[in-house]
Amino acid sequence: MRKIKSTVAILLAGGIADGFQPGTVPKYKALLPVCGQPITNYVIRALEQSNVEKIFVIVDDDVTIQEALTASSKCIFFRKDRLHDLFSLSMLFGLEKVAEYYGHPQINQKSIMIVPCDIPLVTKDNFNALIEKAANYHADVTIPIIAENLIKKRFPQRCFRSVYLADYKGRYTLQFIGFINGEHILIEPSRETGRTKISFKGVEYKSLVRLKETMDTLRDHRHHNYSLPRFSDKFALHWLMRKGYTIYVFRFIFNLIFNRLTMAKIIEYLNGACQFNIAYIVSEEVEIFADIDRPEDFPIVLGIPWDSGGSGRKNNAINLI
C-alpha cells in the first residue's frame, strides 16, 4: 500500500492590485479588502482548518503586508523581491523556500499545493477534497479541471477560458491550484548566500522556461474566451512546430476545432513538451474558481458592489470568516 504524502501549501500572496484604479485599494493584491478583511485572510483561515501541514505564505518585500494578515500557527512567511513578480517565478521562489525548510530527504515526502490568495469563498472542505483526489496520483504535477456548467450555474456572469473535452462530453477549464510531488525536486548547491537552488528531475532548462511561459500566459488570460493564436504562441504547440512535429500539431488543432480533443491527449501534449509527468483530477470545488481581480468581480462572485472606499460591504447572503 502506497504511503500518502503529507501536504504543504504555498500561498502566493504577492503582486500588485493592478486590476483596480490606483488609490482606491491598498497597493498589494494580498491586502485587497473584502468585507473589512484582507482577501488573503480568508484563504489562510481555510488552509489553517484544512489538512495541510504548513502554509508557506509568499508576500512582496514589504513588512506591512505580513503585519496586516492574520497568521496561524501553521504559517511561515517569506518576502520575495521584484525579480519574482511573475506567477511562475513566485511559485518557483516558494518551492525553493519549501526545499530550504525541509531539505533532503524530507522534501521527498511532501505534496506541495500551490494556492492563490484571491479566492475568498474557499473553504477547508474545498482544499481537503482536492488533497484527497490528488493523493491518488503519483505524478510530478497534478492539476484540477472543472466543468464549465458548474461554474456557470454558480456564477452565470463569469467569463473564463475553457475547451470542449470529448471524453467528458462538455467544456472544462483549469483551476489555478496545482500539486507538485516533492520527489521531483532536487536541491542543488547555490553560490548565492541565503538561497536554496532547486531543479527538477529529468527536466531540461528550456523545458522549464516553456512551462513558466505557459503558466504565466494561462494565468494572465484565464478570464478571456479561448483564443488559439494566443494560446499556441507560448504553449506546447509552439515548441512542437519548431521541433518539426507539424502533423502532430495539425492533429491537435483538428481535434480542437471539431470537438474531438480529449484530456488524455492534452496531458500527452503537455508531457511531451514540458517533460513533466502530469496528471489531472476533476474538481467540483467551484469556490476555488471564484477569484477577485477587478471591481466587477465583487457583484459577480460575492453578490456585493465594490466599495471604492476600500472597506467592502457586508452582506447576509454570503458567509465569510
The pLDDT value recorded for residue 199 is 84
Q: Is 196 exposed, middle or buried (0-12, 13-18, 19+ CB in 10 A)?
A: middle
The pLDDT value recorded for residue 50 is 97
The pLDDT value recorded for residue 52 is 97
Cα–Cα distance measured from residue 42 to residue 34, given in angstroms and rounded to the nearest whole number: 9
List the pLDDT tens digit at each of the 321 positions of the chain: 456 789 999 999 988 888 787 777 888 889 999 998 999 999 999 999 999 999 999 998 876 888 899 888 899 999 987 665 666 778 888 999 999 999 988 999 999 999 999 999 999 999 999 999 999 988 999 999 999 999 999 999 887 778 889 999 999 988 889 999 999 898 887 666 666 788 888 765 555 555 555 555 555 555 555 444 444 444 555 555 555 556 656 666 777 777 888 888 888 877 776 677 889 999 999 999 899 988 999 999 999 888 765 544 444 334 454
Cα–Cα distance measured from residue 106 to residue 118, given in angstroms and rounded to the nearest whole number: 30
The pLDDT value recorded for residue 214 is 57
Domains and CATH numbers, the chain: 6-302 (3.90.550.10)
The pLDDT value recorded for residue 1 is 44
Q: Are 159 and 225 in contact (CB under 8 A)?
A: yes
The pLDDT value recorded for residue 311 is 47
The pLDDT value recorded for residue 150 is 94
Q: Are 146 and 175 in contact (CB under 8 A)?
A: yes
Q: Are 162 and 173 in contact (CB under 8 A)?
A: yes
**Model-level pTM?**
0.84
